[in-house]
Amino acid sequence: MKRISLKHSVLQGNQKIAEQNRQIFNHYSITSINFMSSPGAGKTTFLESLLLNMNAPEKIGVIEGDIATTLDAERIAACGARVVQINTHGACHLNADMISKVLHHFNLSQLDYLFIENVGNLVCPIEFDLGESLRVTILSTTEGTDKVAKYPAAFQCSDAIILNKMDLLPYLNFDLNHFYSSVKNFNPYASIFEVSACKREGIAQWTKWLQTKRREKEQKD
């Protein structure tokens, strides 16, 4: 009987591929965003509104992560962006290797942005770095303010938090002040945006933030 000391990080394999993805994105000056939310928070509708609000959709690539179907990819393709659907066949999150394997579907030298819509889940995607430049979590008003405290990791690791379905606010018992104080408690650095994706409200402000982030990174590099 022998004991081998390993002290080996379980996620090291994913992290290694994520760093390779990051190098590829940096090489082509692509700003990549990992969008996370629970199912039904409005990730795809938000991306549709975003694509319709941004000039030059040919400079935007989208990766759609879903357990099954190509429904979201079809919606995104209708907006004019190049889209690749990843079906995880049961897995509840995307990982770096899945991203790496679909990058050849894009003309990377043509892209400014790569939007990655993760599988709808506020827990599992958090631990899997995809190589993204920015992480964004979307919460919708119909989910309630308590989700911030119940799923803190998603909000802690985000550069921006989007509160979607603001058009429904008058009909819901959603305490905006509590939401803001809750988010600030877990992540004082995240930018917060109020959006109604289906009404295309608040999108321009978020797009401006994204473009500023891209410029900041370009100047830093």
Partner 1 sequence: MHEISLMYSILTIVKGSAKENQMTRISKIKLVVGTGLFIMPDSLLFAFHQLKDELFDRDAVLELEERAGRDFYIDFIEGE
Q: Which residues bind partner 1 (CB under 8 A)?
A: 1-14, 90-93, 95, 123-124, 127-128, 153
CB of 103 to partner 1, least distance (A): 20
Question: Which of residues 43 and 93 has its CB atom nearest to partner 1 in the complex?
Answer: 93
| Residue placing its CB nearer to partner 1 in the complex, 13 or 40 | 13
Residue whose tokens read 């889940």: 121
Long-range contacts of range 59-62, CB-CB < 8 Å, 24 or more positions apart? 59/110, 59/111, 59/112, 59/113, 60/111, 60/112, 60/113, 60/114, 60/115, 61/30, 61/106, 61/111, 61/113, 61/114, 61/115, 62/114, 62/115, 62/116, 62/117
Distance of CA 19 to the CA centre of its chain: 17
Dihedral angle computed from the Cα positions of residues 142, 144, 145 and 149, in that order, rounded to the nearest 10 degrees: -130
* Cβ closest to partner 1, residue 7 vs residue 220: 7
The smaller minimum CB distance to partner 1, of residues 128 and 174, is found at 128
Looking at beta carbons only, is 46 or 186 nearer to partner 1?
Answer: 186
**DSSP calls for 54-111:** SS-GGGEEEEEEESS-SHHHHHHHTTT-EEEEEE-TT-SS--HHHHHHHGGGS-GGG-
Query: Smallest gap, in angstroms, from Cβ of residue 153 to partner 1?
Result: 7
Nearer to partner 1, 124 or 169 (CB): 124
Angle between helices 203-220 and 43-53 (to 10 degrees): 80
Smallest separation, CB 150 to partner 1 (Å): 10
CB of 125 to partner 1, least distance (A): 8
Q: Shortest gap between Cβ of 97 and partner 1 (angstroms)?
A: 10
- Tell the smallest beta-carbon distance from residue 142 to partner 1 (Å): 23
